[in-house]
Every structure is written in structure tokens, then in C-alpha cells.
Amino acid sequence: MRRIEPLDIQNATIDERNWTAHLIAASEPWITLKTSLEQCLAVCSDPGYMIYIAHVGGQPCGAIILHPSGLASSPYIKTVVVAEAYRSRGVGEGMITFAENHFRDNSKHIFLCVSSFNKKAHAFYKRLGYHPVGEFKDYVIEGESELLLYKRLR
């Protein structure tokens, strides 16, 4: 597929926060993790999270949910989700790069978790320079782990 450029990444509006919750609830790995729409709506309405939306041609195509001091006072990428029609076209990478650049001046490190069964996402983060630093066995669902990944920003 052809890579999408440029992305317009902006703070989520209230409607886009709702759109993000619905997108997450209807996407993997959150389906396998049994994440409910109610849980997604709660996260997306929580003012403690920064939510940014990637747009192409004025239409939302992906979202990233960030916590500015989510792990050991370092930024934490809680969620990256891309609408199906835009997957494998650079949207996720663009949003990750946006987050890294957003925090780089004030933070040395950034963290995220990826589910052990989500091999494609794990390879994606590895390609972007993220390294495993921990494992939470049976953390969300029995028999699977959440892998803590880390990247040094500066």
C-alpha cells in the first residue's frame, strides 16, 4: 500500500475522543483483551490522558493516547490505533514519531506496553527502536503477557 503523507495530527475534539473509544473497542488487540466500549469511553474521557488524532484530508484515520508521566515520571504511550483503511500506510509510525518529538525536549525516556500475542505490533515497535525491559505475565488475560518496551529519546 502507498504511504500516507502528510499527516495532520491535532488534539482530539470531544467527538474525536468518542470516535477513538469506538475504534479501539472494535479493533485488535483490544477485542482479544476483552476491552469493553465502556472501558474505552472512560479512558477517552479521562482528562489525565492526552489524545491526538491523525487526519488525512480532514478525516480522522488514527489516534494516540498518551500519559505525560505514566511510568516513573516518563511519558507512556497507552494506545495507538489506526482505522482499518489506513493500516500499514505509515499512520502509526507518524503518530509514534509525533509523540516522541512532543516529549523529547523534557523527557529522556518513553515507554509503552504491547501484548505478547501481538507479534506484528511487537515487530513494529522494535523497528522504531523500542526495546523490551519487562514482562507482566497473565496481566490482562490468562496465558498472555504485556511486554514493557522502552526507548531513549535523548
Please write the tens of the pLDDT for every residue from 23-33: 999 999 999 99
Asked if the bond preceding 47 is cis, omega within 30° of 0, the reply is: no
pTM of the model: 0.96
Q: Give the pLDDT band (50/70/90) at residue 1.
A: low
Please give the CATH number for the structural domain made up of 8-152.
Answer: 3.40.630.30
Task: Convert the pLDDT of each residue in 91-115 to its tens digit.
Answer: 999 999 999 999 999 999 999 999 9
Higher pLDDT, 58 or 2: 58
| Segment (H or E) for 20 | helix 14-25
Measuring CA to CA, how many Å separate 118 from each of 37, 48, 65, 121, 146? 20, 26, 18, 6, 10
Distance (Å, whole) CA 13 – CA 70: 22
